[in-house]
A and B are shown apart, each in its own frame.
Chain A
């Protein structure tokens, strides 16, 4: 859950708390990139569990970004002497949301989630075919 601040400050800060309320992108940026590391791979071979290294770095090609900037600029009417052409309000809303959330957040988040999905596919691809694994687990414990 994210909460926009009300009143004061112009409302241009989005506050989000830690814990279960974080989005996946925020979580990934923290726990895959930061924190104390132990020599995972030595341990992994000991216990026979595969852990994937997940290097989720999202690089948006510069040209792509440039075109987005140009598009945002193109939608601005800098020469209208205050007379807004019809429909500009809609366009401007679009602009605010497109770069703000589309590029910086939505797209990144989308890419991250995509990456995680991919990992899930790689790691958990056979999930549906192995219900016996869960049973085995219960018996062992």
Chain B
């Protein structure tokens, strides 16, 4: 058996010391076990580490997330980014001891709240007719392309696609703003990101009071109803990944 000085521990996240871990957690290490290491009023949720140089497999990612979300379902957790490995001794001396007050402060801030992520993109079938018909240039290109083979129209197609992308981009700013504003009254904190791809509309994370989860989810449905040309995806409740600073 290795000594604590060089035993590796995988850290899933941080909770308040009095948090009771749910039953049935399965970690990514060979033992599958997950337990708490406590320092003052903060505890690290840790487990053993695969010892065969294979951390990073799909099942490790899923196990990390499953542990974090199972804890997050009932308690406030500060999730670690994937791949946090530290010696058993280091969990206490380097992670918790020097920073437990900071962690406790963040835990208190997030207490009773949970995260949702909302992403959405345009349903092209619904949105394109209006966009093309209202623009003479696009209309002309569209008409020309229809009579040509894919190869012959290659550059026209790129041009039309680019114009469509620009039009969607111009439109999405207002739509994203309207969506986020409409959800504003139902959330505690929000973080809005730039959409990742052309055609995407909204990419935002919301911190929601647990007591108001249902209300928030209903609000999302209601907003979605007002934007039938969007396809939205609501992910959550989740651990507050977007609301812990990446130290």
Contacts and interface: CB of A to CB of B under 8 A. Distances in A.
B246 A92 contact: no
A35 to B, nearest CB: 4
Contacts of B245: 36
B242 A9 contact: no
- Interface range on chain B (Cβ under 8 Å from partner): 35 or more
Interface in B188-244: 196-200, 217, 220-222, 224-225, 227-228, 230-239, 241-242, 244
B236 A123 contact: no
Interface residues of A, number: 78
Contact of A104 (B66, B95, B197, B246): B197
A33 B228 CA distance: 31
Contacts of B234: 13-16
Nearest to A23: B235
A46 B129 contact: no
Contact of B197 (A44, A65, A73, A137): A65
Interface in B126-173: 128-129, 132-133, 139, 142-143, 145-146, 156-162, 164-165
24 contacts: A5-B221, A8-B225, A9-B222, A12-B225, A14-B232, A14-B234, A18-B72, A18-B239, A24-B61, A27-B65, A35-B13, A37-B247, A51-B55, A58-B196, A63-B161, A67-B161, A69-B128, A70-B145, A76-B129, A96-B125, A113-B58, A116-B57, A116-B58, A124-B54
Interface of B: 1-2, 6, 8, 11, 13-14, 30-31, 49, 51-58, 61-62, 64-66, 68-70, 72-73, 78-87, 90, 94-95, 117, 121, 123-125, 128-129, 132-133, 139, 142-143, 145-146, 156-162, 164-165, 196-200, 217, 220-222, 224-225, 227-228, 230-239, 241-242, 244-247
